[in-house]
Amino acid sequence: MSVIVETSPSRIAPSLTRSIPRRVFDKAASMPGFRIGLAIFVLLVLAAALYPEISGIDPTKMNVRARLLPPLFIGENWSLAHPLGTDQIGRDMLVRSLVGLRYSFLIGVASVVVMLIIGCTLGTIAGYFGGRTDSIIMRLTDAQLSIPMIILAIAVLGVSRPTIPAIILVLGLSNWPVYARIMRSIVMTERQREYVRASKLGGSTDLRIILTLLVPLLLPPVLFTSVLDVARMMIFESTLGFLGLGVQPPTPTFGNIIADGRKYLLNAWWIATMPGIFLGLTLTSINLMGASLERARNTIHGGSE
């Protein structure tokens, strides 16, 4: 069926002043989901940045007399000084969770960035140039995929000291093949399109086409899905912490707090639960924002505004 789409100038005129990224952002900002997500996120960031310093409580300081205090209004001997209770050696759970959030978030975001850089670069190169380049890079990807992440983590972190940069590197290195695969397949379909040819005719070099044409076009959807991976990496960090290969105690991260709290799950459930709640909140807020941005992008680029 052939349908003629007429664009009347009157429909176009009002939005003339706003550029397209601006319109995507404005559209996202008008969605309730984005606002809720942003509010939670800002709150968490502020709390994590400021509360440990302002309250002056040391997250590693022990206080045996105040051990295993429950959170506010639960049980009998709760105290205002420790709103989320204390753990088995009397450390304040709120401060520990917030400091844990800092580290977990740092590790989550940084490892996703590492993963994106490696994966997208290799994937784009493989997809764009094809041929031998493609087969070499893809065999490399296959090799990487064949090594289970946990084994790699145990090998690397077991041998060297599990510092934060090492953890970021291990997490990033073990997860890039997925992005390489995705980027390769979408670049492969796009590079044969006429507009790429048009750009070549305009005199663009391959590098220019990749950087100014393909990457801006293809990266955003990948970025939006990678937001979900921030959450996954935070969980992986927790897994590593749980195995004792994460950030070493006494520095708190979600992983080692939860690992510690497991032993006391029956008589002090809050030790493992509190960081879990923070983890959940962070991920929810990130996902809400990511989803709204993605939806806004689709509406604008789909032409409904």
Binding positions for other proteins, rule: CB under 8 A: 1-7, 9, 12-13, 15-20, 193-195, 197-204, 208, 212-213, 216-217, 300-303
Provide long-range contacts, Cβ within 8 A and 24+ apart, for 199-207: 206/128, 206/129
Q: What is the amino acid identity at position 295?
A: R
Smaller CB separation from other proteins, 23 or 35:
23
Q: How far is the CB of 202 from other proteins (least distance, A)?
A: 4
Distance CA 253, CA 238 (A): 8
Q: How far is the CB of 258 from other proteins (least distance, A)?
A: 42
Smaller CB separation from other proteins, 80 or 201:
201
Q: How far is the CB of 280 from other proteins (least distance, A)?
A: 34
Preceding peptide of 165 cis, ω within 30°: no
Distance CA 116, CA 120 (A): 5
Burial of 83 (0-12, 13-18, 19+ CB in 10 A): middle
Q: How far is the CB of 8 from other proteins (least distance, A)?
A: 10
Smaller CB separation from other proteins, 6 or 76:
6
Smaller CB separation from other proteins, 151 or 198:
198
Nearest CA to 44 out of 110, 123, 114, 101 is that of: 101
CA–CA–CA angle 82, 86, 87 (5° rounding): 170
Distance CA 263, CA 59 (A): 20
Q: How far is the CB of 33 from other proteins (least distance, A)?
A: 23
Smaller CB separation from other proteins, 148 or 216:
216
C-alpha count within 13 angstroms, C-beta hemisphere, residue 149: 19
Smaller CB separation from other proteins, 9 or 165:
9
Q: How far is the CB of 122 from other proteins (least distance, A)?
A: 23
